Chain A
Amino acid sequence: MKVSTRYFGEVDLDESKVITFAGGLFGFEEYTRFALLFNSEAEERPAISWLQCIDEQSLALPVMIPTIVMPDYNPVVEDGVLEELGDWNEENISVLVTVTVPKDLKLMTTNMKAPIIINTDNMKGVQVVVENTDYQIRYKIYDILNSAKEGKEED
């Protein structure tokens, strides 16, 4: 299927890549079909990808794997909250957090309080609010990303 995307132009997307968020995302409850897109020309799969709405070109959020900036990230939710995902386990579940990038890059943040959880077997997704009281909605990551880069250069 052809999909007009915000960051990747027109993309030919296999139906099997469509992720269904039955309840939508907070603030965008009416949109339920998304896909995860990333720069396939990069040498390895990039740490950042884009959650693109299939039905609305302008609706795309940068998302990242939270453990890049918080290695011990361990979101806690009530049992029933993930019911929508069907049968899930540690193997088939993917946890992502949204990234907010303001004009001043130094102020960029990620939302640790409301991760996006995807069951990669049945391609169902849900955005949840976690119980962890110390997880911030605006967790600053610019310095953490930079020190990760420096760490790598020293290797």
Chain B
Amino acid sequence: MLALSRKINESIMLGNDIEISILEIKGDQVKIGITAPKSVPIFRKEIFLQIEEENKNAVAQEQSRETIEQLFKF
């Protein structure tokens, strides 16, 4: 992993169209600004990991198809 030191209001470019800026530093919290094309999804890693895990949970289910279909018979 590449580690770079940056001061407040300095930034880093990823490629030529993604900019990561340090906006504010308060104690152990850093406020980061991200400028990127709209097609680049940006989310907190916790959310990303939870969604990965939930997809895996959906795959891992052990009920039979019939049991699940029964739940959706209205």
Contact = CB atoms under 8 A, between A and B. Distances in A.
A105 B38 contact: no
Q: How large is the interface on B (under 10, 10 to 19, 20 to 34, 35 or more residues)?
A: 20 to 34
B63 to A, nearest CB: 5
Interface of B is mostly: helix
B65 interface: yes
Contacts of A108: 71
B40 interface: yes
Given A64-B72, A111-B51, A149-B74, A59 B59 contact: yes
Q: How large is the interface on A (under 10, 10 to 19, 20 to 34, 35 or more residues)?
A: 35 or more
B61 A114 contact: no
B73 interface: yes
A30 B40 CA distance: 19
Contacts of B71: 48, 105, 108, 142, 145
The 10 closest A-B pairs by CB, nearest first: A80-B38, A80-B39, A27-B52, A48-B72, A47-B72, A101-B61, A98-B58, A7-B65, A61-B58, A114-B51
Interface of A: 7-8, 25-28, 39, 42, 46-48, 50, 58-62, 64, 68, 78-81, 83, 98-103, 105, 108, 111, 113-114, 127-129, 137-138, 142, 145, 148-149, 152
